[in-house]
Structure 1
Amino acid sequence: MSPTSSDPETRSPFRRVFLAVVGALVLLCGVFLAIAYLQGPKLSDAQIDLVSAIAQPDQQLRLFLNQQIDDIDPDQITVTPATAVSVSTSGDLVAVQFDTPLRYDTEYTVRIDGVRSAALPQSSTVEHRFTTGAPSPLYLDRGTPNDAIVRVGLKGSEREVIFETPGIGAFAATGQVLVVSTVDAEGISRLMLVSLADGAVEELRLPEEGTVTDLAVSDAGPIIAFTFTPSAPVDGEVFGGRRVLAMNLEQGRTLFTVGELGGEVFPISSWRFVPGARSMVVQGTEDTTFLLDAAPEAVPVPIGRFTDILGISRDGSTMSASDALGGVLVSLEDGETERFEPSLIEGSSPFLGEVEVLPDGDVIEKAALQTTEGRFLVVMAVDDGETGRVLYQTPAQAGSIENFRVSPNGQFVAVEVVPVIADAVSDGYLVDQRSTTITTVIVEIETGLIVRSVEGFGLLW
């Protein structure tokens, strides 16, 4: 009779093999448990929106661990280059939140020491590296026969024409759409949307013939706004019927009057979008200043009375303004104000023009300095609260500084300059008339280095 599986002689080798396999598996599991015990938690995955991280504050790096962990304290985190952060922990997730936008084209290392499992006592160090991108700014180059909206990088000399047409007065951008205003020889404006995806052009209908100025787009949503001046002034109306019009592109193509409430129109002499919000700071008559949502029937919220709005910080928290006594910084969150006394620049007291608070709390300013010869020299400067530092001035002090625009992360400033005033010739446009030699230089704020120069203006980051 042949042996069967029930025979003792057959069962014994099988049992020995089975027990050996089980023992090996138990031993292997023990080894893995020992490794986990000795090594502590490990990083499984990491997520960050690199586009938002260089443009907006409070963006998060989300770190996923291979097990649930104890809460992480901010002092356990080291970020290189140094950046202020806050942190929250939930199960196996650590969310590291950056207080300010990150620098362009920079490798960051985030290290968390003493990461401890919720079940095991052994701790570990978790580390993640990532590299940020860089923006591709747009600017307006007025030429013959067409004006062009051009895209460039922060480095190199390449340029890409995005859209061209005669008579561009101004442009703005939202998502994958350009908003472009043109003006003819009679001062009549057109307004159009241009798709960046396929170049399709859609003309927007204006209420009547007139001129579009102050064109801008909210960076918190597809809301466009502009000041509209009718060709035929309206008798009996403040500013002759000039008003601020807006359109929410998510809600169709209907224009509404900003500041219109109950059929009455709040007169607006000047206005600016608040960065990161769907609201505006507006000035009415007698220098009254309000915060106003860019929506139909919005109720103005009083801020104070100021002679000029000098700038709004890129995080939307602080407005710089002036009144009869000088400069003032205004919180747009609670309306509190504090005096801003500019620091001396090279031993001279500056006369301020436009001012903007940077993400790190320093102030960038367009300032006029009186020279020993009694002339005035206009410079771009940075004020840290103790001293002022000249950031940029035109070569040989022969030119003029027109406007400036700080990058969303506060790393660069685009300065519009006329290099030589004596050679300046107007381009003859009826809207936003500029010198034919106007140039935009992009300056790194920390070092004062010029990283790019383009022949044009209206640069958008």
Structure 2
Amino acid sequence: MSPTSSDAESRPDAGLPAARRVAAASQRLREQRERRRFSRTFWMLVATLSVVSAVFLVLGSLQGPKLSSAIVDPQRVTEQPGQQLRLFANQPLGEVTAAQVSVSPAAEVSVSVQDDLLIVQFEQRLRYGTDYTVEIVDVPATSREATATFTHRFTTAQGEVLYLDRGESQDEVLRAPLDGTGRGEVVHAAPGIQHIAPIENVLVVARDAPGGTSVLEAVSSDGGVQQLRLPEGVRVDKLIVPPVGTLLGLVISSVGTPPEGAPEQDPLTRALAVIDLGADGPTTIVRALDGTAVTARVAQFLPDGATMIVHTVEQEVLRVELVGEPVALPIGQMPTAYGLSTDATRLTGADAFGGIVLDLATGRESRLDPSPVDGAFAFGGQALLTRTELRVQKVAVPDDATGGVTTLLVADDGTGAARVLFRTIDDRGSIGDFVLSTNDQYVAVEVTPSVADAVPDARVVNGRPTSVTTVIVDIESGAVVRTLEGFSPIW
């Protein structure tokens, strides 16, 4: 067999007509060209992707970490110090210091890093209804030298106040937002409400009972009412709201003759008591080391919700530890006490020579002299301190024209001049108790618009004029933001 005939027989198209052999050859040539074209395109694509990957790798090595998400509770940051903004990055982070963090409006912060989590902690409560911007510069990653800037913006929740509005046959507890209008939302309604106290998701109310005594009730968010256990024959003089937890404080007094069959006990006069709403237990009288009941004119919880500062009827200032067996430790003496500063480090009050401040940590006292108001000498009254040196104080200013005095509410930082926050219309009214918002932004003031026209509400416990109103004032600007018909405001 010749070579030519052998090659011909080995081809796939051997034996085919000439035209079909030409077509098959053309097909093979086209397939070969397509394979070569695909090969060139594939390797060009591989090369291009390799270049792009290299570019992104270089860019990635030149860029710092990225902020993936952020979490903050806009309500709690206005209510409690120590709340956190948690910023999550796309990779583990290096060390960050507080000097790298800026907050607008200004707020004191600390910072820490946990792997890919950057935590900005606000040391003080933030303002209500305010847009905040937090920026952290030069945030490093652990795997590269490049840094980045993290920025997060959030808006805090609006403030609201709980208050009591009494009616002829029915009393109402209402919650009013500071940016709203009208009376607010009715939380609970019942006859004869004496005092109110919000505890977690429960509203505690003390109401009138036969013989001038009180009944204590816990109202749940769904409207259910549970009666709490009080000692027989007592009146609730005051409810003390904790900042956290379920431990409610009370000041109670015995009323009338104990009912027949009740256990014998000494009469109570403004006795300090506690009840744990989480444990569903009875009311417990807080007793001193000698076994006598601790009395209380003024009592407030510290931030832990388990310790109280108490000013007694005997003019002592006590620190009362309530965890386990209550322990009352004396820390000072004060004829009159007004209340704790909003950071719970100082107690304001007065003696025969004027206002005083007691430092709870050291026990040291300092004078609290009122500054002049519009150049006029002022006599100081009830004063409450913010966490700074600024205080809100009720003062009396002599009126040379009439020979009387004008009562004002002022803001005083002790630098030599007080700023008027509030006065009644034509000075016809009176300014009663007031309470600062926990973030030092507002003051809620009980006001009787006209003393001459005031009519008592005839309540035996915690009586007020029927015309009493609560006025909310912005401490920084002095603007009145809300006026509510009622009293006993609670932030």
* Residue 376 (structure 2) pairs with residue 352 (structure 1): no
CA distance in 2, matches of 1:284, 1:22: 85
The answer for the alignment partner of 1:52 in structure 2 is 76
Shift of 1:52: 1.2
- SS of 1:40's equivalent? coil
* Residue 463 (structure 2) pairs with residue 439 (structure 1): no
Q: Which range moved further: 148-157 or 323-332? A: 323-332
Give 1:143's aligned amino acid: G
Greater Rg, structure 1 or structure 2? 2
- SS of 2:158's equivalent? coil
Task: Give aligned-pair identity as a percent.
Answer: 36
Q: TM-score, normalised by structure 1?
A: 0.91
The answer for the alignment partner of 1:175 in structure 2 is 200
Check whether the contact 1:275–1:313 (CA below 8 A) recurs between aligned residues: no
Cα deviations by residue, 1:373-421 (Å, 9 ceiling, x for unpaired): 3322211111112021111011110000011111111111110000000
* Residue 412 (structure 2) pairs with residue 383 (structure 1): yes
* Residue 57 (structure 2) pairs with residue 30 (structure 1): no
Q: TM-score, normalised by structure 2?
A: 0.85
The answer for the alignment partner of 1:166 in structure 2 is 191
Give 1:379's aligned amino acid: L
Structure number with the bigger relative contact order (C-alpha 8 A, sep ≥ 6) is 1
- SS of 2:121's equivalent? strand
Shift in CA distance, 376/24, structure 1 to aligned 2, threshold 3 Å:
same
- SS of 1:333's equivalent? coil
* Residue 341 (structure 2) pairs with residue 319 (structure 1): no
Check whether the contact 1:287–1:305 (CA below 8 A) recurs between aligned residues: yes
- SS of 1:71's equivalent? coil
Shift of 1:314: 1.9
Q: CA RMSD in A?
A: 2.7
Shift in CA distance, 74/68, structure 1 to aligned 2, threshold 3 Å:
same
Give 1:434's aligned amino acid: R
Check whether the contact 2:136–2:151 (CA below 8 A) recurs between aligned residues: yes
Match of 2:368 among 327, 340, 354: 340
CA distance in 2, matches of 1:183, 1:25: 82
Check whether the contact 1:416–1:439 (CA below 8 A) recurs between aligned residues: yes
CA distance in 1, matches of 2:433, 2:84: 33
Cα deviations by residue, 1:294-349 (Å, 9 ceiling, x for unpaired): 34522222211111111112222221122344322223234343332332222233
Check whether the contact 2:424–2:449 (CA below 8 A) recurs between aligned residues: yes
Shift of 1:291: 0.7
The answer for the alignment partner of 1:363 in structure 2 is 391
* Residue 316 (structure 2) pairs with residue 291 (structure 1): no
Check whether the contact 1:274–1:312 (CA below 8 A) recurs between aligned residues: no
The answer for the alignment partner of 2:124 in structure 1 is 100
Check whether the contact 2:272–2:293 (CA below 8 A) recurs between aligned residues: no
The answer for the alignment partner of 2:297 in structure 1 is 270
The answer for the alignment partner of 1:5 in structure 2 is none
Q: Which range moved further: 165-174 or 119-128? A: 119-128
The answer for the alignment partner of 2:458 in structure 1 is 428
Shift of 1:200: 0.2
Check whether the contact 1:257–1:296 (CA below 8 A) recurs between aligned residues: no
The answer for the alignment partner of 2:443 in structure 1 is 413
Shift of 1:248: 1.0
The answer for the alignment partner of 1:187 in structure 2 is 212
Gaps of 5+ in 1: 3-7
Q: Which range moved further: 139-148 or 204-213? A: 204-213
- SS of 1:300's equivalent? strand
Gaps of 5+ in 2: 1-10, 13-31, 259-263
* Residue 403 (structure 2) pairs with residue 374 (structure 1): yes
The answer for the alignment partner of 2:245 in structure 1 is 221
Give 1:273's aligned amino acid: Q
Shift of 1:76: 2.2
* Residue 276 (structure 2) pairs with residue 248 (structure 1): yes
- SS of 1:104's equivalent? coil
Check whether the contact 1:259–1:292 (CA below 8 A) recurs between aligned residues: no
Shift in CA distance, 165/241, structure 1 to aligned 2, threshold 3 Å:
same
Q: Which range moved further: 290-299 or 379-388? A: 290-299
Q: Which range moved further: 135-144 or 358-367? A: 358-367
* Residue 333 (structure 2) pairs with residue 305 (structure 1): yes
Check whether the contact 2:268–2:293 (CA below 8 A) recurs between aligned residues: no
